[in-house]
Amino acid sequence: MRLMLATALLAAAPAAAQVAVPAAITADGVPPIPTALADAIRPYAEARSAVPVDWNPVDRSLVIATRFANTVQLHSVAGPMMMRRQISFEPERVGNAHYSANGDVLVVQKDVGGNEFFQLYTLKDGRLTLITDGKSRNEFGAFSHDGKWV
């Protein structure tokens, strides 16, 4: 059914508006894509997932990474079948997070523009605070046993 719809849209719209090729992409031998076809398949390209990231050791809520806007952000889910609550609000992707053993610190890893030059931050009340030097690439390893050191 969906394939028939896509085929019908392609056949019916040869002179219709077309999706513009981004300036950063060279498309050699690729036929024009009608806007109607792009619009028809958009719901399938916008599929979302929720990836478990960590447990809050204090209230036992689950931290998940999911995308509801342009980038993946962190959300808290208090229990089964309960609504998610967004806890990070960054313009860039925030996907990894780790709670300290007593739950007083949430450390997150974030880069800029997908450059994989990761920095570590603490997340509290929706705000990030940089804890690495900003000059070297960092990934989370572990907390010390007492939870005072990363």
The answer to whether the beta carbons of residues 99 and 106 sit under 8 Å apart is yes
pLDDT for 62: 96
Phi, psi of 39 (to 5 degrees): -65, -35
pLDDT for 127: 95
Domain assignment present for 150:
no
Residues 107, 38 share a domain: no
Residues 41, 110 share a domain: no
Residues 73, 39 share a domain: no
Low-confidence residues of the chain: pLDDT under 70: 1-16
User: Where in the sequence is the domain holding 125, given as residue range(s)?
Assistant: 50-130
Residues 60, 119 share a domain: yes
Reduced 3-state DSSP string for 109-135 = EECCCCCCCCEEEEEECCEEEECCCCC
Domain assignment present for 146:
no
pLDDT for 13: 45
Residues 12, 77 share a domain: no
Residues 125, 54 share a domain: yes
Distance CA 88, CA 73 (A): 6
Structure tokens at 122: 């603490």
Residues 117, 55 share a domain: yes
Residues 104, 32 share a domain: no
pLDDT for 136: 93
pLDDT for 9: 47
Residues 112, 66 share a domain: yes
Distance CA 26, CA 15 (A): 22
Q: Which residues contact 129 (CB under 8 A, 6 or more apart)?
A: 121, 122
Number of domains in the chain: 2
pLDDT for 15: 53
